[in-house]
Amino acid sequence: MGKYNECAWREHRELEMEYFSTRGAGPVSLDEALRKGIADDGGLFLPQQFPTFAVTDFAAAESISEVAAVLLGPFFAGSSLQGDVEKILDETFSFSIPTTTLPADGNSVSLLELYHGPTAAFKDIGAGFLAACLSRLEGNVDAPLTVLVATSGDTGGAVAAAFDGRPGMRVAVLFPDGRVSERQEHQLCCWSDNVLSLKVRGAFDDCQAMVKAAMADQALSVKHRFSSANSINIGRLLPQSTYYADASLRHYRRTGNKPGFIIPTGNLGNASACIMAREMGLPIGPVILATNANRAIADYFESLEWLPRASLQTLASAMDVGDPSNMERLRKLIGDADVLRDQLGVATVSDDEIRAAIRQDFEEFGFATCPHTATATHTWRQLDDNLVEQHDWILVATAHPAKFETIVEPLIGESVPLPAELQEILSRPAQAVSIDPNLASLAAALDDVG
């Protein structure tokens, strides 16, 4: 395992970037890594090397799209998409991603608002980027590419919205029955004929296992031309690393300080994107993972033994993951738990603590936070005084609180206004197909819609 070798992007930007599986298979091109989603040996793709940057490399980059062009340019080297990078990034970052300073008694803390996209969740960024790439790669192919996505809440809606109606693309969204909010479920089930919404009688981990099993089944993969839009796809992590780069650069230019990030995490995709940005030399300080009652990551750091387990249902439903896929990437990129815990902090937040944080956020900040964002605000409040004083902090807000109105509104005593984009989505008719948590049921559902 261990850390990847680094190379200066200036010297290697003209070389083709190759991608290898965390389990050894490869190399493949970026185009193939995006199409496949997961490697033939079941591993997750990582670039052969990560380029390294200096802050001055971004001197002329004023917008997040321009930051993304510098950061992601080396990853497109040799790709058929290389000439479309600017258009892809303009599509991806078509909405604002503001950082809001929070009132905090002299301490520097702000909120990175990632919920201003079409489905009001941070997943819109990765999903939009992946759709922009794959639609260019596959738009003129006769047999559609079938994008499989397991979701614990927000991913599926973002992917469905991003691929909705795109030629050459079909999406199958698998979500756990009864374990997403009512508004989240509607977002998963209200799209065009090229989106199949599958309500799985099980947990998110069952959905994720079904996606992995389907992609590992050679006959099914040939028949349906599978790809994945979960954060197992490197095409999800690359654009997500961009908003960490942009936020840290803006903060560093303004203050001269490297900000720390507190990141709500379940499947470790968003957190991995931040680590990737830091590995590439961006001015990022400490990184702390905020998890809910699902303790697989925290227990790994304590015991040094990786023990995935069945997920628990919590208020922060999109983080209800008992076997985070991207731990495999982090272990390949950084090392095992004894190394990881020197570079990452982790905190677990109970449902009662989430409720208390939502109330306190509303009282202190004057606006509502979603249950996932509340894990970050709670974690920040629990930091050691020295950590709070020694570092500036950016808390990651992953979803709009209006998506969780049944949880948030009783706690704050007010209604949360619906964003216009979410209101439009909720006005559409919705439908889903219920299936059992096994590969045979998924295969049958895919065959039924041809």
Domain 96-120+235-418 listed as CATH 3.40.50.10310: no
What's the confidence (pLDDT) of residue 7?
A: 39
Q: How far is CA 231 from CA 6, 45, 95, 347, in A?
A: 23, 11, 21, 21
CA distance from start to end of the chain:
41
Burial of 40 (0-12, 13-18, 19+ CB in 10 A): middle
User: pLDDT for 5-32, tens place per residue?
Assistant: 333 334 444 578 999 999 999 899 999 9
Between CA 153 and CA 117 the distance in angstroms is 15
- Residues 333-382 pLDDT 10s: 999 999 999 999 999 999 999 999 999 999 999 999 999 999 999 999 99
The continuous run of DSSP H or E covering 187 comes out as helix 182-188
Residues in CB range of 174: below 8 A, 6 or more apart: 148, 149, 150, 151, 156, 198, 200, 207, 210, 211, 442
Helix axes 269-279, 234-255, angle to 10 degrees: 60
Q: Is the pLDDT of residue 406 over 80?
A: yes
Place of tokens 């944080």: 357
Report pTM.
Answer: 0.91
Q: Which among 330, 206, 321, 317 is positioned nearest to 266, based on CA atoms?
A: 321
Q: Any idea where the domains of the chain sit in the sequence?
A: 96-120+235-418
- Residue 345's beta-bridge partner residues? 288
DSSP lists the bridge partners of residue 126 as none
Averaged pLDDT, 260-287: 97
Residue 2 pLDDT greater than 70, yes or no: no
Distance, in Å, from the CA atom of 179 to the CA atom of 419, rounded to the nearest integer, reads 23
- For 230, how many CA atoms within 13 A lie in the half-sphere containing its CB? 32
- pLDDT tens track for 30-69: 999 999 889 999 999 999 999 999 999 999 999 999 999 9
What pLDDT sits at residue 450?
56
pLDDT at 228 over 90: no
Q: Report DSSP state, residue 447.
A: H
Query: Do 424 and 141 meet the contact criterion of CB atoms below 8 Å apart?
Result: no
Report pLDDT for 352: 98
